[in-house]
Amino acid sequence: MSAPLIRRSAAELADALASGETTSVALTQAHLDRIAEVDGPVHAFLHVDAEGALAAAEASDARRAAGSPASALDGVPIAVKDVLATEGLPTTCGSRILEGWIPPYDATVVARLKAAGLPILGKTNMDEFAMGSSTEHSAYGPTRNPWDLERIPGGSGGGSAAALAAFEAPLALGTDTGGSIRQPGAVTGTVGVKPTYGAVSRYGLVAMANSLDQVGPVTRTVLDAALLQELVGGHDPLDSTSIADPLPSLVDAARQGAGGDLAGLRVGVIRELSGEGYQDGVLARFQHGVDLLVAAGAEVVEVSCPSFVHALATYYLIMPCEVSSNLAKFDAMRYGLRVQPEGIASPSAEEVMRASRDAGFGDEVKRRIVLGTYALSSGYYDAYYGTAQRVRTLIKGDFDAAFGQVDVLVSPTSPTTAFKLGEKLDDPLAMYLNDLATIPANLAGVPGLSLPAGLADDTGLPVGFQVLAPVMADDRVYRVGAALEAALESEWGGPLLAQAPALEGAAR
């Protein structure tokens, strides 16, 4: 094993730490050096905490020297999406309204990372309050896709995905409300998982839409994602929606899947998530992935989920309603930006609030708050929010019926490969279409994984393959994901990211 440290998987780094080949300080410094080298152009990070990460790494090395590592991943550094509260580290959610805010507490997932000994490298860039599919809605400038710096890294978690694709971090945490972990994974050639709703605590996650949000792993391999979800997941008394029952072992499922045998597994290809609106190069890579599942022994059938065609519209009613309610807390009184309105001698709290929210929120956030305010207003509530909630029931019903026939469902993760920065920035509907295939899982609460399926013939850019499973059966997405990953990597002769162009100024 002679690959440079920063190019190895988290599982390999854990082994290297356990064998004494390297130390957490060396590993953490290597990633900090890489960040210093390439993050100018990539801009995956909003804040880098070199001092804190190195101090945590030293403590990790001391534990290991004493023979008592805190976890299997003790000492492996990680990046955290800037929507998760980190005590003592800035948490902006990509918004001006929280510029400079330093939380006085840790999100539960962050507390679990710290307890397990993972040094936190810094906070990653995102669309403002996780609203977007390109990371261009960040108030602090976009992240760029390491495969092509002129293109978007997906969103909202483009920073976490790009940090992985640019080898700036071996692990990251993301959040997925309509695809914000999986779609960035797809367009950057990395792995991302949205766990079952309630399988990972949301305490300390700045909510966009409570009934849809979920924290999950952003990694380069399926096994790494399983290791990270097992580490941060599980019941949390501080989150009332947290599931009390444990999930099946995800790491075991990933290891079993990597053996490549899927005999007896029933796979459903979702008819409604392909065809029109999907790029040819994406569909070709997806079909090849399906062929490999067949070759591994799976039985593949086409499954129809007729209500999925309404998922996007349903989501863009339910989500803005929850957004308009959630973001009311940014009132310029207890935390965040306070702006004095111009030309008013002694402004009232309401006037200050209105001026602060105008100055602090960007376009997309304002669009969604106003849309949600409209859909929830008297006289429209039943027509919009009520209707969307009933269609949500139909979408859940489609999943239930499909999982009566098959063990997992598959589709392309995103309809296209990465588009150019600016291309869809001021065309909200075009931007929303990026989440066409990822949204149904959020509406129904089921787990979903995206892994690299190869490069599209027509654009030469990464394509994502999505695996969906029933609620609480997260182990299945890991098993199938690991099997497909093994089959694809044996064709490619290594990970897909080995084919990514070297970044400017980066010695490889």
Partner 1 sequence: MPEITRAEVAHLATLARIDLSDAELDHLAPQLSVILESVASISGVAGDDVAPTSHPLPLVNVFRDDVVRPSLTPEQALSGAPASEEQRFMVPRILGDEQ
Out of 24, 60, 71, 156, pick the active-site residue. 156
Neighbour tally for 264: CB within 10 Å: 9
Output 29 or 387, the one with its CB closest to partner 1: 387
Q: How far apart are CA 182 and CA 157, in angstroms?
A: 9
In the block, tokens 């305490």 appear at: 203
Shortest separation between residue 174's beta carbon and partner 1, angstroms: 19
Q: How far apart are CA 73 and CA 58, in angstroms?
A: 14
Q: Is 180 a catalytic residue?
A: yes
Output 246 or 460, the one with its CB closest to partner 1: 246
Output 65 or 328, the one with its CB closest to partner 1: 328
Shortest separation between residue 49's beta carbon and partner 1, angstroms: 18
Contacts of 404 (CB under 8 A, 6+ apart): none
Strand 172-175 to 215-219 pairing: antiparallel
What CA–CA distances, in Å, run from 35 to 31, 38, 49, 121, 154?
6, 5, 11, 9, 20
Angle between the 474-492 and 280-295 helix axes, to the nearest 10 degrees?
100
Output 351 or 504, the one with its CB closest to partner 1: 351
User: Coil, helix or strand for 85?
Assistant: coil
In the block, tokens 């190869």 appear at: 454
Strand spans (E) along 236-289: 266-270
Shortest separation between residue 154's beta carbon and partner 1, angstroms: 21
- Give the H/E segment covering residue 448: strand 448-455
Give the number of C-alpha atoms closer than 13 A to the C-alpha of residue 41, restricted to the C-beta side.
Answer: 16
Output 295 or 328, the one with its CB closest to partner 1: 328
Asked if residue 461 lies in contact with residue 500, where contact means CB atoms within 8 angstroms, the answer is no
Strand 266-270 to 408-412 pairing: parallel
Q: Is 325 a catalytic residue?
A: no
Output 249 or 373, the one with its CB closest to partner 1: 373
What CA–CA distances, in Å, run from 436 to 5, 79, 303, 354, 430?
36, 27, 17, 34, 11
Shortest separation between residue 432's beta carbon and partner 1, angstroms: 8
Out of 81, 123, 194, 424, pick the active-site residue. 81
Asked if residue 165 lies in contact with residue 154, where contact means CB atoms within 8 angstroms, the answer is no
Shortest separation between residue 430's beta carbon and partner 1, angstroms: 11
Output 374 or 492, the one with its CB closest to partner 1: 374
Out of 9, 134, 180, 411, pick the active-site residue. 180
Question: Is the Cα dihedral 365, 367, 369, 375 positive or negative?
Answer: negative
Q: Is 60 a catalytic residue?
A: no
Q: Which residues are catalytic?
A: 81, 156, 180
